[in-house]
């Protein structure tokens, strides 16, 4: 027998929109927590009395809004909210000023601290891989590498929490330059206090300027998964080129920044009349 009172309307059946609202409400209320996996679509369909296609549509809509994440056809979980990233060009002078400081002072300010305010020791994951490679031809051209010489490629991957999207960057130095200090060839020395500016200082290079070239494009499927980017969000691709005081390019970095969490701030001092 129904417990519904006379004249009381039955609850509207779930469609994809209402189901998405129900799942979002569970996330907002904390009943579903960041990183928590959702039941399989078939189980959700049975729970809410809908067909599997309705579940798929609801989940797809929530992924597009950055509330859920996970590859199509695989498990879905509540997205771990990424920290906001702010890149200000004034950071480069701060980094240069710290080069002549002691290890403790240099270690207190790096990429993680500058971009998100998260101390590097608080990161869930901090991985650096070094490889000796020929490298992309356009990077070789910028660094003016002779044809018979190689590049040192350093790839950095950082996550602030388990199941969170990664932050990543790739740096190229000429192997001939880096090998002047054997410590620069050892990834176990990462995170290096003072970063690349101090590393270059150890081989006699002072930076005179840094150029940031910024383009936007859609991520590859691999980037979308690694950085945990909703399908409609583009990447801001920063190519950072560091020049010595003699005007020679000594490092090229590729830094992909998801457009849903990155702010770029550039300050240009203007001289008086």
What is the per-residue pLDDT for 2? 37
Residues 49 and 151 in one domain: no
Residues 74 and 94 in one domain: no
Q: Which of 78, 99, 126 lies at the terminal end of a domain, its last residue?
A: 78
Domain region containing 213: 85-265
CB 125 within 8 A of CB 191: no
Q: Which of 61, 78, 95 lies at the terminal end of a domain, its last residue?
A: 78
**Counted domains in the chain:** 2
Residues 136 and 256 in one domain: yes
C-alpha dist (Å) from residue 212 to 112, 225, 239: 18, 25, 6
Q: Report CA torsion sign: 29, 33, 34, 40.
A: negative
Say if strands 262-265 and 207-217 run parallel, antiparallel, or are unpaired. unpaired
Is 270 contained in some domain?
Answer: no
Q: How many Cβ atoms sit within 10 Å of the Cβ of residue 70?
A: 18
What is the per-residue pLDDT for 134? 98
Residues 112 and 217 in one domain: yes
Spatial separation of the C-alpha atoms in residues 239 and 135, rounded to whole Å:
15
Spatial separation of the C-alpha atoms in residues 110 and 108, rounded to whole Å:
7
Spatial separation of the C-alpha atoms in residues 132 and 155, rounded to whole Å:
11
What is the per-residue pLDDT for 12? 60
Task: Supply the CATH number for residue 46's domain.
Answer: 1.10.10.10
CB 92 within 8 A of CB 208: no
Is 212 contained in some domain?
Answer: yes
Burial class (CB in 10 A: 0-12, 13-18, 19+), 272: exposed
Q: How many Cβ atoms sit within 10 Å of the Cβ of residue 113?
A: 15
Residues 6+ apart with CB under 8 A from 41: 52, 55, 56, 59
Q: Which residues of the chain have pLDDT under 50?
A: 1-5, 9-10
Spatial separation of the C-alpha atoms in residues 121 and 90, rounded to whole Å:
23
Spatial separation of the C-alpha atoms in residues 129 and 243, rounded to whole Å:
24
What is the per-residue pLDDT for 147? 96
3-state helix, strand, coil in the chain (%, to 5): 30, 25, 40
Is 6 contained in some domain?
Answer: no
Each residue's pLDDT tens digit, 17-60: 999 999 999 999 999 999 999 999 999 999 999 999 999 999 99
Is 273 contained in some domain?
Answer: no
What is the per-residue pLDDT for 3? 42
What is the per-residue pLDDT for 4? 46
Is 122 contained in some domain?
Answer: yes
CB 264 within 8 A of CB 184: no
Is 138 contained in some domain?
Answer: yes
What is the per-residue pLDDT for 11? 56
Residues 21 and 120 in one domain: no
Phi, psi of 72 (to 5 degrees): -60, 135
Residues 176 and 64 in one domain: no
Longest dimension (CA), the chain: 87
Helices and strands (H and E) in the chain: how many: 10, 10
Each residue's pLDDT tens digit, 93-122: 999 999 999 999 998 888 999 999 999 999
């Amino acid at each position: 027998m129904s417990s519904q009172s006379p004249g009381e309307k039955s609850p509207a059946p779930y469609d994809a929109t209402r189901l998405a609202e129900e799942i979002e409400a569970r996330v907002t209320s904390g009943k579903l927590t960041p990183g928590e996996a959702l039941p399989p679509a078939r189980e959700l369909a049975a729970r809410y009395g809908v067909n599997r296609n309705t579940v798929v549509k609801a989940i797809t809509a929530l992924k597009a809004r950055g509330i859920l994440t996970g590859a199509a056809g695989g498990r879905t979980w509540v997205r771990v909210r990424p920290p906001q990233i702010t890149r200000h060009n004034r950071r480069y002078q701060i980094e240069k000023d710290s080069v002549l400081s002691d290890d403790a002072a240099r270690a207190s300010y790096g990429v993680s601290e500058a971009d998100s305010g998260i101390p590097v020791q608080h990161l869930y994951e901090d991985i650096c891989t070094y490889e000796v490679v020929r490298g992309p031809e356009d990077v070789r051209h910028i660094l003016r590498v002779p044809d018979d010489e190689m590049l040192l490629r350093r790839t950095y991957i950082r996550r602030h929490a388990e199941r969170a999207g990664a932050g990543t960057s790739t740096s190229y130095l000429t192997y001939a330059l880096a090998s002047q200090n054997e410590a620069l060839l050892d990834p176990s020395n990462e995170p290096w206090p003072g970063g690349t500016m101090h590393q270059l200082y150890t081989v006699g290079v002072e930076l005179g300027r840094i150029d940031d070239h910024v383009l936007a494009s859609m991520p590859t499927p691999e980037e979308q998964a690694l950085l945990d980017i909703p399908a409609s969000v583009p990447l801001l691709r920063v190519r950072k080129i560091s020049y010595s005081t003699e005007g020679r390019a000594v490092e090229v970095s590729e830094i992909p920044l998801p457009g849903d969490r990155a702010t770029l701030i550039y300050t240009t001092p203007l001289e008086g009349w």
